Structure 1
């Protein structure tokens, strides 16, 4: 619904049928769009509700929608997991046409990764990955050790923060990861990785690439791992299920358990396991690769 309003002196009234209105300065006339109440599965954009440090690194991709008038709409679940569920979420300014129709592109579909509540995670498993990490508040650290209710809440947010930090760091290193848009509590909004047809990119494990593409994927992965190791980080849970095949591009996902290669005493063990997992898959598809050779190449980047 569009409305025109004119500025008038206090106490006066205006006859909107007066032809003299045509002579008004256009700066005194403005349009606005009135929105209906939001429907189920919708909310106002949370972009401005989070602190600046909770937004993605600059320069931001052009597709990031920052308008305060945008509405977030849940489009359905994309994937379920042990620690979190991933949903598709559209952030759009109502009535804004897409770029191919002359609009400003104020509409984008993203992935909303939402970590589950306190009961979902194994502390024994988590402790192996989180060795070497610090919790800023001593109260929170004590709660984590006691495995109290508050400790489980802290653990949930700590894993979300860990993935957020990992995504930001990897993106800034130029690694092939989804762009991290924002974090709000235990929800991370990130880039939706699609294939050449505009559909969700499949996991590498679901694909059967031709020999040339298979070799290209491996080279991309080896280069990415070398960059990570050179910066002292290890994925920690890498496999063909944590890699997306986005056309000819390989993208690394699921980073909450990222490991400090030096600070974690099991860092090198995690790296060797990552090498073994991915080499086993590539070998099964016909590419002659060796995990120990890959591990040696990567360790040469670390020292």
Structure 2
């Protein structure tokens, strides 16, 4: 991306490796915590109190949360003798298993620092495709880190290890996973509150010169009375990306269409003008 939104380089090791430890001390589906592994990037400080940083912690696979075209999300518990937390482990598909059908449009304006990696990606070599998969994970980690640091409603990014991104699991008050906004039917007062939160979040992104790039009711979680934005690997710089303005306008159309269909009088053009005023 542009200097407004730097993307950390993917680790030099194979970005698809998850570094599971084979030892008699651990059961199948477990590994030692990768928090302190070489090449692993930790989330922004100050770290939330619930983040488990102990060297003695164990990661335990709990199953699949969601499958997608570009990545699958799993539930993973990280715990030691004193504390534990369930995280969302988003694992990007690499090589020929990923299906980013619009890579070129989203990545215009981004820069891959390593010249060898740039050449390999351009040629579509095995190494190049692996690097590209790592770059998408790195882009989402960088975006989540920056947004969380300025107070925007996104999951806290715990760490990045190649193509595996560990992040906060967004839940309801009863501990169950928060549904996507598209799955809910909020009453009018809550619908209006959701809209106000969404507009503020979009203004915050616009003030950074960024658009979500694929915003819709399917990329928003309804966590009781608050909205949380997810799925951010394709966030675009509205200035550096030649299509940035169109992505921003499409975000506006997508969200206003959903809210209008549920009775809220909102307008995509008015929202776009509001966001442009924040961006420039």
Instruction: Say yes or no: TM over 0.5.
Output: yes
The 5 A counterparts of 1:3-152 are 37-51=25-39, 54-94=41-81, 96=82, 106-122=83-99, 125-152=102-129
Secondary structure of the residue aligned to 2:201 is helix
Runs of 4+ in 1 over 3 A off after TM superposition: 121-124
Note the C-alpha offset of 1:121: 3.3
Cα distance between partner residues in 2 of 1:300 and 1:153: 39
* Shift, 1:197, TM fit: 1.5
Q: Structure 1 regions of 5+ residues with no counterpart?
A: 1-34, 97-105
Aligned-residue RMSD, C-alpha:
1.3
Matches within 5 A, 1:106-255: 106-122=83-99, 125-255=102-232
- Report the Cα offset of residue 92 of structure 1: 0.4
Q: Aligned with 1:183: secondary structure?
A: strand
Tell me by how many angstroms 1:108 deviates: 0.4
Which has the greater radius of gyration?
1
Higher RCO (C-alpha under 8 Å, 6+ residues apart)? 2
What are structure 2's unaligned runs of at least 5 residues? 1-22
Do the aligned partners of residues 263 and 178 (structure 1) sit closer, same or farther apart at CA in structure 2, a change above 3 Å counting? same
Distance 1:281 1:36 in 2: 52
Q: TM-score, normalised by structure 2?
A: 0.90
Query: C-alpha offsets along residues 34-53 of structure 1, whole Å, 9 cap, x if unaligned?
Result: x961001000000111457x
Partner secondary structure for residue 154 of structure 1: helix
Shift of 1:129: 0.1
